[in-house]
Amino acid sequence: MSLLNAIGEGVALATRRGDIHWANDLVLRLGGAMAERLGACCRQFDRDYPLPPGGRVPSTVLELVLVDADKAWQVMLVPAAADLVRSAGLGPDTLVLVMRDVSAARRLQQKISAIDQAGSELVRVDPETVRKFNAHERLKLLEDKIINVARNLLHFDHFAIRLLDERSGKLELVIGCNLPQSFDAFLIKPGLEGFGISGYVAASGRSYLCSDTATDPLYLPGVEGARSTLTVPLRLHDKVIGIMNVESLEAGAFGEEERQLGEIFARYIAVAVHMLDLLVVERSTTNISVSGRVATELREPLEDIAREVELLRGEQGAGQAPDPHLERIVTDLHSIRQRLTECAAGPASLLGVEQAMQHVGVDPAINGRRILVADDEHRIRKTIGDVLVKRGAVVTVCANGLEAINTLQAAPNAFDLVITDIRMPDHNGYEVFSAVKQFSPAAPVILMTGFGYDPHHSIVRASQEGLQGVLFKPFQVERLLDDVRKALAPKA
């Protein structure tokens, strides 16, 4: 009896009518209402598996789950063995009842189901959202969903998501919730040593529980006062594309349940981020492909028009003044070809350059303003610089992110505006943005990127800290000028 009371499960002998012959303490403490429900389980067993003539009991099992307030019980009924029936002097209709508290497992399953449902929302591609929002806006929408799920379902109050940048090898901070400004002070790369817990998880592909930050040698300072952390990999198939790091102000705040839930949620995050990147790549490829096809289709009729113009020119008498209508056609042909070339070049070019360069005179909103332009594409930075100079700006052009950062550092508060590309070989747009905030904090920043491609997610990070605007190449030069005027306008 002591053994049966110590096993942590309810055990009873009952008839098929629901009468209890004997029970251990756990069953006896359940009370009348639960006893009646257990009796109903016995009667259901009798209906499902009636006692055959002669009393020979088949080997059958009935499993049920009973929910009582915040408790869930798994109930198992089996016919009592013949030798037990004989030795105890019981009838052949005797059942053995075993019940187990599965409340924790049921709550975990409910949480898993809720995360599965929320995760499905993360990876759901809504055609209207794809049409309506650009890449930055779609990522911001995803960020809001991730934060909502993490806080409301998982109760993760302080967390960071880092994605691996293939070119630099760094784990870039992309999404953060309730993090201090100094959280991104460390260089984090995948590595079993030297890059903290996040680097270890990215390198090993295994999640990591830190129960006490004070004694864990891998822990790098993060949230002030953090006592414990959970870090899980963002895995896409067999590849780790980033990590999610959660911190708590309480020691031992995370256990195996939180680890399991975090890993499930992280898989959905990885798929959702990957899908957003695929949408951007698909849009970029489609735009370039369509522009190229249009240019190819128009080449032959444009050449025909050019030949006809030359024939008409040849019919003019010697010394006769050129026909202004023919010359206008020639000019328009050149303009059409130039614009087709710009469109086919995709993000490597800008649109409306020819018209913008015909401008004469300064722009009062731009005249005399000091503007830094950074882009590793020579054609882009030269075009932007020339357009702004024609409107009176004092322009400094930088060929890469490092040159831009060094220029900002060498001349603090020297610029009224910074325009920088996001994807450069040495430093990304967010790093240039951070340098502006450090050395010219009053200067607004405009980021540029091809078709919304943002592998470092600089736009989201900078938007959280006061980014002025974003331009998606190939953009109209007039759109650039509008954004420049808006950025330089006096603040109300």
Convert the pLDDT of each residue in 333-373 to its tens digit: 887 877 666 665 554 456 777 777 777 788 999 999 999 99
Quickly tell me which residue has 């869930």 as its tokens: 72
Q: What is the pLDDT of residue 263?
A: 94
Closest CA to 415 of 424, 426, 404: 404
Q: In what order do the strands lie in the sheet with 94-101?
A: 20-23, 10-15, 94-101, 71-79, 62-68
- How many C-alpha atoms does 296 have within 13 Å on its Cβ side? 6
Domains 2-101 and 107-282 share a fold: yes
CATH number of 353-488: 3.40.50.2300
Tokens of 201: 């998880």
Quickly tell me which residue has 């911001």 as its tokens: 140
Q: Which residues of the chain have pLDDT under 70?
A: 54-58, 125-137, 139, 276-292, 317-319, 339-350, 450-465, 492
pLDDT in tens, 395-424: 999 999 999 999 999 999 999 999 998 878
CB 427 within 8 A of CB 401: yes
Quickly tell me which residue has 């295994």 as its tokens: 206
Distance (Å, whole) CA 79 – CA 60: 7
Distance (Å, whole) CA 295 – CA 292: 5
Region at 287 (left for phi over 0; alpha for psi -120 to 50; beta for the rest): alpha
CATH number of 2-101: 3.30.450.20
CB 49 within 8 A of CB 63: no
DSSP-derived letter for residue 272 is H
What string of DSSP letters covers 149-214?
HHHHTS---EEEEEEE-TTT--EEEEEEES--GGGG-S---S-SSSSHHHHHHHHH---EEES-TT
Tokens of 227: 């006592």
Q: What is the pLDDT of residue 51?
A: 86
Kindly report the backbone phi and psi dihedral angles of residue 489, in degrees, each rounded to the nearest multiple of 5, phi listed first.
-65, 145
CA angle 428, 433, 438 (to 5 degrees): 130
Tokens of 306: 């050019």
Q: What is the pLDDT of residue 451?
A: 47
Tokens of 57: 């009991």
Q: What is the pLDDT of residue 248?
A: 95
Distance (Å, whole) CA 363 – CA 386: 14
Closest CA to 123 of 332, 331, 327, 277: 277
Cis peptide before 455 (omega within 30 of 0): no
CA dihedral for 225, 228, 234, 240, sign (positive or negative): positive
CA dihedral for 357, 362, 366, 372, sign (positive or negative): positive
CATH number of 107-282: 3.30.450.40
Q: What is the pLDDT of residue 350?
A: 67
Closest CA to 38 of 109, 111, 124, 97: 97
What string of DSSP letters covers 84-96?
HHHHHT--TTEEE
Q: Where are the domains of the chain?
A: 2-101, 107-282, 287-346, 353-488
Closest CA to 229 of 204, 196, 205: 196
